[in-house]
Structure 1
């Protein structure tokens, strides 16, 4: 009896479940970060998140890839990726101070469109007209959310968009890493480089950590590491076209957390703009899958 199709189906289901739980964990990570911005600098939050998470990421890398997962062939590439990671995280955490959690989350979903633009304009990749249309429609969704020139416009709304741009550069920079290195190596060095680089500046903004907040810092490290690990494993178990669209469930979690904790709500125009961004992103993922096939 041929069990290959059933095995593939089971693997896909596992990948989808891991992706959904991983996205939920990262959403919890973001909600905790927003809560912590009331008393701490985004830089201090990022530093403690990375320092606490580093032992967990090393343990996961050893478990999944052995001691070879801790060996880097291009440390400079990881240091550069760490700088991009610190920049993106700082801008995203800062936006939490001023914006509803769901609005900031919706805007960061334009990262795939930036990846398309950068790949076409600077890396010489062939991008068809359908993907260009998806990019234009996606940015229309961004304009609906930030509403430049309108009474509701806030300059701070550009921070998540800038975060998405730097995050796109971070994703593309994975190409500079030696092909012999696994995703677990990338996870360890990204966390380590983030801890190292943020440590250089954090003394200037450091405030004593309240004992009652220690569990929040532990939570942001655990949820963030667990989320990244599960999402990474999801892509290993199932095709990107199956699991990648589930990343957008993060907007549902961000909306739920924002309402439960801060009683935040989104107006209809913002919801419409977020819907356009998500729909365009799913179309982009499907087009990339068809092109690869």
Structure 2
């Protein structure tokens, strides 16, 4: 098999893996939305991570041996755990009150936040990417519609989630580069379980028998989704697979309509299209700048 054929095959596998991971995370979000009527976000996050933790432990052990269980930057992992919990609590709260597709579309501004924060803390960002960031946030305004009668403060939570997610992605720079993604997944699950155990106790609700499978499923889909998305970036280059993160809007729209009868209005789709186009431009522009460097 030629190198070009191998590259095309790796790209195809990466794209398929990315799409499957995104679908798994959307199912995770739908399960969380179904649980929010009876449980606090802290309880959901705590149980999800406690169920997923043994699997994350075994995966890190199998893939990296005992070295995969150790970290020299435990403090950084705890900081990332705090950011991850904040992002998850805000997003779960938002999908409890908003449509799944609307919240997902607003959360798509995460790449734009990453670009803006990179310009402030890491490296210079060109005017084209800054323009894409500005256009992307205009898409946010189209969806949120501040000043309109339909405006809800709760719609700011997915945007705050995106900001927290951007900080989470940038904080990976402080993790020891010798640590594998399996170690990162293990410590993210561990710190999230530890940090949510006390808040969960204060808002604990007895678990109904009919909800047990949902907690197991949310742990499974959440872990599988994160792992598959991470793997996708190992199979293919980021500019190839990253745009397929936006397939989440398709899944979120379908799941929202199927289970809650949610139908986003036209302005939500218009705003989502603007945000998506801006995010895709940023991805391809950063790829071009990197290749030129």
For Structure 1 versus Structure 2, the TM-score category normalised by the shorter chain is over 0.9
Tell me the alpha carbon deviations over residues 143-199 of structure 1, each in whole angstroms, 9 at most, x when there is no partner: 000100111100000000001111110110001111111111111101110010001
Tell me the alpha carbon deviations over residues 230-289 of structure 1, each in whole angstroms, 9 at most, x when there is no partner: 111100010000000000000100000000000000110111000110111011000010
* TM-score, normalising length: structure 1: 0.97
Tell me the alpha carbon deviations over residues 47-78 of structure 1, each in whole angstroms, 9 at most, x when there is no partner: 11111111122222233333322110110000
* TM-score, normalising length: structure 2: 0.97
Question: Could you tell me how far apart the structure 2 residues matched to 1:54 and 1:85 are?
Answer: 15
Question: Could you tell me how far apart the structure 2 residues matched to 1:25 and 1:276 are?
Answer: 25
The answer for the alignment partner of 2:272 in structure 1 is 274
Aligned-partner SS, 2:96: helix
Tell me the alpha carbon deviations over residues 93-126 of structure 1, each in whole angstroms, 9 at most, x when there is no partner: 01111100000011111011111111112x1411
Aligned runs of 1:65-214 on 2, under 5 Å? 65-121=64-120, 123-214=121-212
Unmatched runs of 5 consecutive residues or more in structure 2: none
Moved more, 153-162 or 48-57: 48-57
The answer for the alignment partner of 1:3 in structure 2 is 2
For residue 4 of structure 1, report the CA deviation from its aligned partner.
Answer: 1.4
Confirm whether residue 64 of structure 1 aligns to residue 63 of structure 2: yes
Confirm whether residue 16 of structure 1 aligns to residue 15 of structure 2: yes
Question: Could you tell me how far apart the structure 2 residues matched to 1:280 and 1:41 are?
Answer: 34
Aligned-partner SS, 1:200: helix
Aligned-partner SS, 2:59: helix
Question: Could you tell me how far apart the structure 2 residues matched to 1:259 and 1:142 are?
Answer: 22
The answer for the alignment partner of 1:217 in structure 2 is 215
For residue 26 of structure 1, report the CA deviation from its aligned partner.
Answer: 0.3
Unmatched runs of 5 consecutive residues or more in structure 1: none
Question: Could you tell me how far apart the structure 1 residues matched to 2:233 and 2:81 are?
Answer: 22
Confirm whether residue 263 of structure 1 aligns to residue 264 of structure 2: no
For residue 6 of structure 1, report the CA deviation from its aligned partner.
Answer: 1.1
Q: CA RMSD in A?
A: 0.9
The answer for the alignment partner of 1:290 in structure 2 is 288
Deviating 4+ runs (over 6 angstroms): none
Aligned runs of 1:238-257 on 2, under 5 Å? 238-257=236-255
Aligned runs of 1:19-58 on 2, under 5 Å? 19-58=18-57
Question: Could you tell me how far apart the structure 2 residues matched to 1:218 and 1:124 are?
Answer: 39
Number of residue-to-residue matches in the alignment: 291
Aligned-partner SS, 2:148: coil
